[in-house]
Amino acid sequence: MTPSRDISRLIEIMAALRDPDTGCPWDVEQTFETIAPYTIEEAYEVADAIERDDMVDLADELGDLLLQVVYHARMAEEAGRFEFGDVVEAITRKMIRRHPHVFGDDSVRGRKLAKGMWEKIKAEEKAEKAARHEAAQVAAGAEEVDRPSLLDDVPRALPALMRAIKLQRKAARVGFDWDTAPPILDKIEEEIGELRHAMQSGQEREIKEEYGDLLFALVNLGRHLDVEPEAALEAANLKFFTRFRYIEKRLQATGRDTAGATLEEMEALWQEAKTAD
């Protein structure tokens, strides 16, 4: 087996790794559920390479992410559900359908995509997908067909902050939303009060629930302020890291470290770091 620029070689390698008799024991025992966390991790590593503008790493990380697609497709093929070619066909069909101004006939090609057309096409795709799911349920002998929800296409595996904002945006499309940001501040204050009450009760489950409600309300505020929660939190993470690193360096300059410093000393250095921002 030799390296190749052809995608078929990667598919062959994965098939060999998954061979029950001659493959890699670790790869053979994996399932969709055990591989899914790696898929998410690889997507983050792609984003990290982009953030660092490291094109060498990006090429490598995109390969790792592509491997995840091939891995899932191989497991599906083994189960008789679909194969890699079906994945490629599905996404090519979707892209062609969603860009009639590029791939359509002469009457629409070259024109600007009409307002609302993108959402109309996506709605048609969603209806067709729902019909396929319903047919699959009927074929499986389901006594009652589970009708789709407006929120079904928001993946549960998304990071919580990202999923929260997507759920809120979906609900907002049908009018389930505040009109402006100020009332959300009142909701946040209400959630803080409920969290205080939960903390006083000492009920761990209630504390967790109310804390989650507070975070959800803060995400909603960010959406109305046109602030991306994930980006805002990452900026706060970087600010904290930079200021804490300042504390460490200032202590190191005097031959000390954070383990030997008091909270008051570190707080004073933290205030110094703020003025240096």
Q: What is the pTM of this model?
A: 0.62
The 10 Å CB-count burial string (b at 16+, else e) for 177-192 is ebeeeeebeebbeebe
Clarify whether residues 178 and 86 are in a common domain.
no
Q: What is the pLDDT of residues 37-68, one digit of tens each?
A: 899 899 989 999 998 999 999 999 999 999 99
Would 147 be classed as within a structural domain? no
Q: What is the pLDDT of residues 148-203, one digit of tens each?
A: 788 887 888 788 888 999 999 999 989 999 999 999 999 999 999 999 999 999 99
- The DSSP-derived string for 194-243 is HHHHHHHHT-HHHHHHHHHHHHHHHHHHHHHTT--HHHHHHHHHHHHHHH
The domain spanning residue 168 has which CATH number? 1.10.287.1080
Q: Is residue 243 a contact partner of residue 270, using CB atoms and an 8 Å limit?
A: yes
Among the three residues 203, 227, 251, which one is the final residue of a domain in this structure?
227
By residue range, what is the domain housing residue 254? 230-276
* Biggest CA pair distance of the chain: 75
Clarify whether residues 238 and 117 are in a common domain.
no
Would 1 be classed as within a structural domain? no
Clarify whether residues 135 and 167 are in a common domain.
no
Clarify whether residues 11 and 102 are in a common domain.
yes
Would 172 be classed as within a structural domain? yes
In the chain, the amino acid numbered 267 is: E
Structural domains counted in the chain: 3
Would 66 be classed as within a structural domain? yes
Model pLDDT, residue 233: 92
More confident residue, 142 or 175: 175
The whole-angstrom separation of Cα 141 and Cα 104 is 39
Q: Is residue 221 a contact partner of residue 181, using CB atoms and an 8 Å limit?
A: yes
Clarify whether residues 244 and 217 are in a common domain.
no
Residue 98 DSSP symbol: H
Clarify whether residues 123 and 65 are in a common domain.
yes
Clarify whether residues 210 and 236 are in a common domain.
no
Model pLDDT, residue 187: 96
